[in-house]
Structure 1
Amino acid sequence: MPAIDMIGYHNLLPHPLKILNNGHTVSITIPKLNATELKNGEFMPYVRGGKLPGEFEVEGIHFHWGDKNNRGAEHVVNDIRYTMEMHIVHRNKKYATLAEALDYADGAAVLGFFFNLDEDEGPGLTTICHHLHLIPDASNEINLNVTFSLSSLINTVDVDKFYTYKGSLTTPPCSEAVTWVLYPDPIPISPKQISRFRQLLDTQDGALVDNYRHLQPLGNRLVFMRIGNNRHTNVDHLSNQIDYRKWDWFH
């Protein structure tokens, strides 16, 4: 299985980024730039490769975390549930919007990254954590006066190694439209950083914590793992060999 190619992940994201406490999570919205707004050679970051059925453009970022350090992530790997999980959500380029894409089995791709409690701060989270006190309550939203690259969030991760499977959104409407890609190498997060997330309030003015979906049974779902061999995507080969319709969904 080829690696996931992260095209444009080293580029700074368009400005201004919006950070929102929606009462259920912290989300970062990336502004959409049309062809006239993009400068020469600029493009929105996107991913391809692995078992992804096409090219997927970045839409946004959000997080899931727990009240305790031994929970928070939405996925469990080898019986380990990490402190936090970050999702980078992408839309299949052939659909105009994410809402439209979620009506189709090949509509979305989500890259998931784990955070493990550590003495040292995760440098990629610094910018985000410094702004969390500005969105303490549900529905608080601000424009960030700085930007960053997606690669800065994940620069400690071995991106050649990952799990992938076909599944659903973990939040309503839980559309069966997602190709999941999960990177098992955790990113460090310090006690001070995770405490900033836990100080936020939800829609009932309680602590915004434990905002992860309960673990779902695997059933007959197939999970594939790539252990890494530095073999990147041959796009022509990929388009000729992968027929997404034959990769069956399981509910």
Structure 2
Amino acid sequence: MLLLEGLSNFYKIRFLIHKKDDYSKTWRVWNTSLRENYQDGWPDSCCGNNQSPIELLKKTAEIVHMSRLVYTNYDVPQDVFLENNGHTVKVGFGCKSVSICDGILENEYVLDNIHFHWNSEHTLNGKKYPLESHFVHYIKEAENLQNALNIPFGIAIIAVFYEFSPEGSEIFNKITKNVECVATNIKEPVPLDEQLVPKELLPKRSCNYYAYTGSLTTPDCNEPVQWIIFPKPCKISPCQLEALKNIYDEDNKPILRNARPLQPLNGRIVKYVKESFYGKFKKK
């Protein structure tokens, strides 16, 4: 669980015991200003050589051409629930029919949840965005997210940046208008009264993406994870972002920031994938 304590010059985030149905079991002190000390007390798995997030640079990325990603039921309205899990807002998918495959992926991955980090965790050509969403998928054979954590490349995450625009996003309103219902209720999911179409939370007609091998950005920082990051951002208004951030931890303190600092690349190759055609959306 993420606990935020406001200090005069920096924020301190404490990670405590987390339930097994989440990414991590143990949370420790995370000082987001004193970067060299922020993960004191984190498990050894968070000190691996393939950690996330990283800096993305187009000039150093390896350009590759691949078949397009295939999104199954991403364009179909889905019943979802909203949850404050103690460190972010999570949009959960109860069904197992929304998935992604092909492109950089060697297997089919089922969408488990979409959650958010403010500011962005990754940077793109030196730029940090006000918000980054993560579409967390688990390998289909694992049957659930928890099982997939123990499988190499059992997790695939699509990351989407958000930039400010006055009008914001109509689809995002379906989320932000319900945040108040979970603002202070930790791990008490609330069904949304409107269905969401996952495709509408992706950048429109984005044929290219960055890909690399990384980790979860929260303890236990499991490796390896296949990352897919779209360079084309979606839109959000400042008011929508403030509404999204209006959640509290178990000590009733506001979660002001929940982004892990950049991690060393350690010789990893970042690919810039160019698809021949825009990703294929199909119903099943």
Select which of 91, 104, 127 maps to 1:51: 104
Q: 1:227, CA displacement in angstroms? A: 3.4
Q: 1:46, CA displacement in angstroms? A: 0.8
Give the match for residue 83 of structure 1: 130
Q: When the two structures are superposed, what TM-score results if normalisation uses the length of structure 1?
A: 0.80
Q: 1:225, CA displacement in angstroms? A: 0.6
Select which of 208, 218, 223 maps to 2:255: 208
Within 5 Å, which residues of 2 pair with 1:118-129?
118-129=165-176
Select which of 210, 223, 246 maps to 1:176: 223
Give the match for residue 190 of structure 1: 237
Give the match for residue 5 of structure 1: 70
Q: 1:91, CA displacement in angstroms? A: 0.9
Give the match for residue 199 of structure 2: 151
Q: Is the contact made by 1:135 and 1:200 (CA closer than 8 Å) also made in structure 2? A: yes
Give the match for residue 27 of structure 1: 90
Q: 1:121, CA displacement in angstroms? A: 1.3
- CA–CA distance in structure 1, aligned partners of residues 217 and 95 of structure 2: 24
Deviation >6 Å, runs of 4+: none
Report SS of the residue matched to 2:151: coil
Q: 1:110, CA displacement in angstroms? A: 0.6
Identity %: 29
Deviations 1:78-137 (A, max 9, x none): 001100011111111111221111111120111110111111211221100110111121
Q: Is the contact made by 2:156 and 2:226 (CA closer than 8 Å) also made in structure 1? A: yes
Q: 1:75, CA displacement in angstroms? A: 0.5
- Decide whether aligned partners of structure 1 residues 32 and 228 sit closer, same or farther in structure 2, where only a CA change above 3 A counts: closer
Count of residue pairs the alignment pairs up = 214
Q: Is the contact made by 1:168 and 1:176 (CA closer than 8 Å) also made in structure 2? A: yes
Q: When the two structures are superposed, what TM-score results if normalisation uses the length of structure 2?
A: 0.71
- Decide whether aligned partners of structure 1 residues 157 and 217 sit closer, same or farther in structure 2, where only a CA change above 3 A counts: farther
Q: Is the contact made by 1:58 and 1:89 (CA closer than 8 Å) also made in structure 2? A: yes
Where structure 2 has 5 or more consecutive residues not aligned to the other structure, the ranges are 1-65
- CA–CA distance in structure 1, aligned partners of residues 126 and 279 of structure 2: 30
Pick which of 200-209 and 129-138 moved more: 200-209
Q: Is the contact made by 2:117 and 2:257 (CA closer than 8 Å) also made in structure 1? A: yes
Select which of 108, 117, 125 maps to 2:164: 117
Deviations 1:45-92 (A, max 9, x none): 111112212111111111111xxxxxx011001001100011111111
Higher share of residues assigned strand:
2
